[in-house]
Structure 1
């Protein structure tokens, strides 16, 4: 992908004349996704004065408890939902970002052969325009210059991740059209300048870190995975943008730990020495899906083409 193939829209672009701070919106499916995908990037930009808003499409109500060392669980679904909200608040504080819920219900990850039907009323079954409406409204209210989310596969085939992509893609295209998603008394139309897809779990990253760990004489948590047939068959999507974030690994890790029901502090997220990770993979990767401003690839900044000499941080 080159400058000529990055999609552009004629006319003035948001961010090129605005004198307000830059704004980044990261759209995720569940609480904890924001801490495992693009978290250090969010922390870096927030520390640099960018206004960063994390959006959680669902409350994560059907997420399994993945931390074997977690203590006693709430006895009710309402109690679990409240716990997930508290975890998300702690993670947002660790990253230095703002946070909003869209309010949809977690679809859960269906398992079995054949797969069971999704539960009635869950996020993945909501009609697209109904699911996108609150995000369109939030885009118009927050006025992000950049939106990040998942690629069309969802990053992995969780129905909420796939739906999250659809909703964010729809909002990116619809928020700037005053004829669509009209709300009486709502914020005026706003057209974001760039849309990116997260690439935190690319096989290139996993293999690179795996090989560095093995070369250092350590045990890699990725050994079985990188040698599997499933790993070999995963297509690599294009990487257009690498953001240097190693100094913000501590904030990312603190946000991960905040999701105590989901993240095992002794698990694979923390099995790689951080000095080794910073040496071989000190960045987070993104794929520029669309740009309404001219930009030259590869990039090292999500706001490339948006920043001006004055008025924007």
Structure 2
């Protein structure tokens, strides 16, 4: 498990009512997912002294190179190593710890009919085998709060769907001493959230703000898509973190094979983002503490609780 960057060590630890340092675990499918979903939230909590761990399920070995400037033979031939190095840079920028589960990227199947997934990939792993290292990580790190994707994976990448499944399994199993023997002492996280980064309300607001400013919106095609599909979950929690959007963007740019600096992610000016939608948004999927929605803090109800 990688340690936090030096800048995070100077923040006074944030603690619950019993004096235990607050801990947040974000479980993601690939390197770069942590920077595109919830990065400003993590940067905010790091600045407040929360101990934050990113768990990355796969190495992103089958990811495409999405930045034309990085589409070179020597990078394509060693993409796993390159993405590992990119993750290290993003981790330092965000000030978080980071751990690899060690599974192999499944790739994103395309075509009609869809091709079979490659043998040995993460998405094809048995649920218990895929969940065991995450249960171990939960019992070691002892998070109060966990972040992951909904059952659709946020988008239908097989590794994102599998990430949801193992995260829910670990949340429910890590506190049970009868399950996953040999993976450490039981620990029960108190809250589980799903990322709602690209929810309709936020996207429409940013789209309309861009048009009102006389700018071309990157979300024009999304408006049609929202008319065709309903979100599976409502937003329950909006975490104010606009002052950390720049840190989020620097972490995104660290994933140079995946993020084109001239592309979609940076078309909405930061000032307009902060003015229009200065939060990152979540759905509270499980809670073992009393809390009232809507929330503005992932640790609502946890800060007041005497820790187990």
TM-score for the superposition, normalised by structure 1: 0.90
**Residue 203 and residue 112 in structure 1: after superposition, are their counterparts in 2 closer, same or farther (change >3 A)?**
same
- 1:75 to partner: Cα distance: 5.7
Q: Is the 8 A contact 2:253 2:259 kept in 1?
A: yes
Which consecutive residues of structure 1, in runs of 5 or more, have no partner in the other structure?
1-14
- Secondary structure of the structure 1 residue equivalent to 2:138: helix
Q: Which residue of 1 aligns with 2:245?
A: 249
Deviation (angstroms), 1:40: 0.3
Please list the CA deviations of residues 155-181 of structure 1 after superposition, one character each: whole Å capped at 9, or x if unmatched: 111100000000000000000001000
Corresponding position of 1:235: 230
Q: CA RMSD of the aligned region, Å?
A: 1.6
2:35 paired residue number: 35
Q: Quote the Cα distance in structure 2 between the aligned partners of 1:282 and 1:81.
A: 34
User: CA deviation digits over 1:81-115, x for unaligned, max 9?
Assistant: 11000000000111110000000000000001111
Matched, 1:148 2:147: yes
Q: Which residue of 1 aligns with 2:192?
A: 195
Which residue of 2 is the match for residue 12 of structure 1? none
2:283 aligned residue: 287
Q: Does 1:112 align with 2:111?
A: yes
Distance 1:75 1:249, change over 3 A: closer
Distance (Å, rounded) in 2 between the aligned partners of 1:68 and 1:231: 29
Q: How big is the shift at 1:202? A: 1.5
Q: Secondary structure at the match of 2:147?
A: strand
Aligned ranges 1:259-278 → 2 under 5 Å = 259-278=255-274
Match of 2:70, SS state, is coil
Between the two structures, name the one with larger relative contact order (CA 8 Å, sep ≥ 6). Answer: 1
Shift of 1:205: 1.6
Aligned length: 292
CA distance in 2, matches of 1:174, 1:16: 23
Deviation, 1:222, is 1.4
Shift in Å, 1:223: 1.5
Q: Give the secondary-structure state (helix, strand or coil) at the position aligned to 1:41.
A: helix
Indicate conservation of the 8 Å contact 1:73/1:80, yes or no: no
How far, CA to CA, are the matches of 1:206 and 1:96 in structure 2? 28
* CA distance in 1: counterparts of 2:272 and 2:134, whole angstroms: 38
Counterpart in the other structure of 2:45: 45
Residue aligned with 2:167, SS? helix
- Distance in 2, matches of 1:71 and 1:114, equals 28
C-alpha contact (below 8 Å) 2:75/2:82 kept by paired residues:
no
2:16, 2:305 within 8 Å by CA — same for their partners in 1? no
The whole-number CA distance in structure 2 between the counterparts of 1:141 and 1:75 is: 34
| Corresponding position of 2:11 | none
Q: Which runs of 4+ in 1 moved over 4 A?
A: 15-18
Q: Which runs of 5+ in 2 are unaligned?
A: 1-14
TM-score, normalization by structure 2: 0.91
